């Protein structure tokens, strides 16, 4: 039987090649699992026992790591054990490892009035303003992740009003353009003087193209445009994705449809939005709470 470090390499190759996980996922899993192997000093799969895992989890907790970070280590270990079981390699059964209960995520959404001011903030006719307007409208229209937006190429069928997106785990989904997003994209592309295949480009101070825009540059432009719009708090592009999801749910969209539009693998991920979009609960509260105090 191969020693544990060789099996780890096999597993990481399996993740990247057969499971089609991103290089970043492979890098993270490698870090989590190598730390487990080093801390536990195991030489073969059969050395991974209940006691070894419990001791490792105790060490994670004592390091004052966030619960969600501790969870990443445990999920990586459990998935590694699943891989070993699939290959009929004797080790601790993966179901013996109980995943930590993840704390509820706090979702930050942009107040609707602030959102409208943000979307309207690039109001000039130069290339940078038109690009920024198109980026903001596209983020809110589609709920794209910033990495997905940056990866888009410019030759889109804008008349059709939909874009095929290759998201996390190499999964394909369709997103749709609002009329405002389509209009903003047409104006921006009509101003482009270059032949760069990227949809969104970095722009020099003199207005020239510098190649595909980066996620960090998108973050900076959202912060800058929010400041110009007079919005007091710092806004991250991901908040536009949150705003996209909550806007759909508050206007009656069902959870499964929003899950598909966001590209979530599991509907439980999409459920994080429901606590701020449940109109019925709000109406019940307003109708029945504190009536005797009137």
Catalytic, out of 82, 128, 168, 180:
168
**Sheet strands (E) in the chain:** 162-166, 172-176, 201-203, 209-212
Looking at 57, 78, 145, 242, which residue is catalytic? 145
Angle separating helix axes 179-191 and 127-142, nearest 10 degrees = 150
Residue 212 · residue 196 · CB < 8 Å: yes
For residue 33, what are its two tokens? 């699992």
Q: Indicate if 131 belongs to the active site.
A: no
Catalytic residue among 32, 73, 83, 273: 273
Q: Is 242 a catalytic residue?
A: no
| Choice among 19, 180, 212, 238 that is catalytic | 238
Active-site residue, 292 included: no
Q: Is 145 a catalytic residue?
A: yes
Q: Which one is catalytic: 78, 182, 241, 242?
A: 241
β-bridge partners, 174: 164
Label each residue of 251-282 as H, E or C: CCCCHHHHHHHHCCCCHHHHHHHHHHCCHHHH
Neighbours of 246 (CB within 10 A): 19
Active site residue 32: no
Give me the active site residues, please: 145, 168, 238, 241, 264, 273
């Amino acid at each position: 039987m191969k020693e544990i470090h060789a099996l780890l390499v096999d597993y990481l190759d399996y993740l990247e090649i057969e499971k089609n996980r991103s290089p970043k996922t492979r890098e993270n899993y490698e870090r989590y699992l190598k730390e487990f192997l080093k801390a536990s000093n195991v030489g073969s799969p059969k050395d991974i026992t209940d006691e070894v895992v419990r001791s490792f989890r105790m060490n994670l907790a004592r390091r004052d790591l966030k619960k969600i970070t501790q969870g990443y280590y445990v999920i990586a270990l459990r998935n590694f054990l699943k891989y070993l079981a699939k290959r009929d390699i004797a080790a601790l059964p993966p179901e013996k490892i109980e995943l930590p209960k993840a704390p509820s995520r706090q979702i930050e959404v942009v107040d609707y009035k602030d959102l409208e001011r943000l979307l309207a903030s690039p109001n000039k006719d130069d290339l940078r303003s038109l690009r920024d307007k198109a980026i903001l409208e596209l983020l809110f229209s589609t709920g794209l992740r910033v990495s997905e937006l940056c990866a888009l190429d410019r030759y889109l069928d804008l008349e059709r009003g939909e874009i095929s997106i290759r998201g996390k785990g190499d999964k394909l989904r369709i997103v749709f353009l609002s009329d405002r997003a389509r209009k903003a994209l047409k104006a921006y592309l009509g101003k482009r003087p270059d032949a760069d295949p990227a949809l969104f480009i970095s722009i020099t101070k003199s207005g020239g193209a510098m190649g595909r825009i980066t996620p960090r540059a998108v973050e900076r432009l959202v912060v800058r445009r929010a400041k110009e719009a007079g919005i007091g708090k710092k806004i991250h592009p991901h908040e536009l994705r949150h705003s996209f999801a909550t806007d759909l749910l508050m206007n009656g969209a069902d959870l499964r449809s929003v899950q598909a539009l966001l590209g979530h693998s599991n509907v439980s991920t999409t459920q994080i939005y429901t606590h701020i979009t449940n109109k019925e609960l709000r109406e019940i509260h307003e109708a029945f709470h504190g009536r005797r105090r009137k």
